[in-house]
Amino acid sequence: MTEEGQEAPDFELASDSGDSVRLSQLRGRPVVVYFYPKDDTTGCTTQACGIRDLYGDFEERGAVVLGISPDSEGSHVKFKDKYGLPFTLLADPDHEVAEAYGVWAEKNFAGKKYWGVVRSTFVIDEEGRVGKVIRRVKPDTHAELVLEALSA
């Protein structure tokens, strides 16, 4: 499980634009890596649109925002286009990155158990260290919490 103060696990994933994004190539800028369960669902849409609505504040802080879910690149394109999301979405269909960050876990919904992403955010500093971990994120307050962490 990735914790504050640790070096962020590096990864390379396919993006909604068809390019691949490698975390270590973003050194020198703060990076917000947020994991969410599924494109175009109520909570995930609230979370993504919260970032979208405050995206200028993220840019002012020089931050790169990366949303990661197990959905495909094609699903990400539709989600991004539908809601006008100005940041990059990355596909982690084999949930390898989610596992490396400790956010792939057994969940329980309506008495049924399944495996999925636990909504979590990692604020990574310019040197590639995890400065803040926000676990079990509440979608409607997520963007503000991340901006506070970027300001600290």
The span from the CA of 81 to the CA of 26, in Å, is: 24
Rg (CA), the chain: 14
Q: Considering Cα of 71, then 8, then 25, then 63, what sign does the dihedral take?
A: positive
Give SS3 for 2: coil
Give SS3 for 13: strand
Q: Which of 44, 48, 91, 124 is catalytic?
A: 44
DSSP lists the bridge partners of residue 66 as 33, 88
| Longest pairwise C-alpha distance within the chain | 45
Residues with Cβ within 8 Å of 19's Cβ and at least 6 positions away in sequence, in order, are none
**Catalytic residue flag (residue 44):** yes
Residues annotated as catalytic are 44
